[in-house]
Structure 1
Amino acid sequence: MYGLVDREALLAKVRAQMHDKRYRHTLGVAESARRLAERFGADPDKAELAGYLHDYCKCWPVEKMRDILVRHDMPRELLEGEKELWHAFAGAIVIQTELGVSDPEILQAVRYHTTGRPGMSLLEKVVCVADYIEPNRDFPGVEMIRALAEQDLDEALACALGGTIQHLIEKRKTVYPLTLLAYNDLVSRRDAQGGV
């Protein structure tokens, strides 16, 4: 997909956008995304690239992200919601306009890696789960999600999103509507297939 020189140039651009801890996380997500893609049948190169790019704007000032989102007519509920979500939506715009990434699957995987959405593609699920389980993550329940991700990507994602929703409720923060819809979609599909 990209040669060694291109890969190194890309990583240099990504590295320039973030501090050391975020960059280590980014490398962990790319590695985890490739591994999950190989396990579940997504394109490993696309998964790895989306992993490298998923937090491209994470360390940017919120004013800069807000400006990008406003200029691109992002939904009002996004702009009025938690700023922690902005980097994913702004990142999808920026990697397309500034880095020339045009693959819609990669752009969608970056855009929805924090919120999820109903009807997620396999690549979107891979990147979202990889973001939760990469080796540098350490939070209550991460080992359970890692174990689930070895067997069932949808269950791992439902568990991860459910944990996020619960955490936000406990902190009395808003839950972005797409996250609730994504969780409900995964659980409904499982139930329709006779899952537990």
Structure 2
Amino acid sequence: MNRVGLLLADWARRRGETEAEGIRWAAVGHLHDALRDEDPGRLRGLVKPPLDDLPGKVLHGPAAAQRLRKDGVDDAEFLHAISYHTLGSKDFGTLGFALFAADFLEPGRRMREDWRAGLRERAPEELLGVAKEILAARIGYLLERGRPLRPEALEMWNRLSEGEPWASASEF
């Protein structure tokens, strides 16, 4: 959690966000995984539709957002970012895209380290492009393994791909 918060604080600074916004970015990074190690059975009771059917490993985001909401946090973009940080969302604002990317690019992750480092470096200036590249990698990974795709991921992909031409059958 701390690494994501520090990464987001750095990105906010590099993007020229205000001091208050930088604190908000750091806070979302520190809080997004607050319930990650909790029992999924316990978390399921906190999560409301449409996210209550998520696998246990990803319930922590919406559960943390619900807990924060109950504790008086009313920043809708902040709560949405936490709820959907593992899935992606077509409704992300800048904060949501940043958390989605930072969670995936968290320093210390051991897979594809050079690629991740490059994306981390580009993210402050190319946040949407980096988020799209991460999402493409996630979708590709799931497709290669014949695993299902969540509608939230597909909707985010379509939002990030707006304006791109639709493929014709002859392109395959």
TM-score normalised by structure 1 residue count? 0.73
Unaligned stretches of 5+ in structure 2? 166-172
Q: State the match for 1:116 in structure 2.
A: 88
CA–CA separation in structure 2 for the residues paired with 1:187 and 1:83: 30
| 1:49 is aligned to 2:27 | yes
Q: State the match for 2:140 in structure 1.
A: 166
Which stretch shows the higher mean deviation, 168-177 or 125-134? 168-177
Q: Is contact 2:9-2:25 (8 Å) kept?
A: yes
- Residues 172, 79 of structure 1: CA spacing in aligned structure 2 closer, same or farther, 3 A cutoff? farther
Q: CA deviation at 1:52?
A: 0.7
* 1:82 counterpart letter in structure 2: P
**Aligned runs of 1:127-142 on 2, under 5 Å?**
127-140=99-112, 141-142=115-116
Q: CA deviation at 1:116?
A: 1.4
* 2:13 counterpart letter in structure 1: E
**Aligned runs of 1:8-27 on 2, under 5 Å?**
26-27=1-2
Identity of aligned residues (%): 26
Q: Is contact 1:37-1:126 (8 Å) kept?
A: no
Q: State the match for 1:178 in structure 2.
A: 152
- Residues 81, 97 of structure 1: CA spacing in aligned structure 2 closer, same or farther, 3 A cutoff? closer
CA–CA separation in structure 2 for the residues paired with 1:81 and 1:121: 22
CA–CA separation in structure 2 for the residues paired with 1:93 and 1:183: 25
Q: Deviations over 1:84-118 (max 9, x none)?
A: 321111110012214x3222222122112111111
Q: How many residues align?
A: 160
Point out the structure with the larger helix share. 1
Unaligned stretches of 5+ in structure 1? 1-25
| 1:62 is aligned to 2:40 | yes
Q: State the match for 1:152 in structure 2.
A: 126
CA–CA separation in structure 2 for the residues paired with 1:68 and 1:84: 14
- Residues 29, 151 of structure 1: CA spacing in aligned structure 2 closer, same or farther, 3 A cutoff? same
RMSD: 2.0
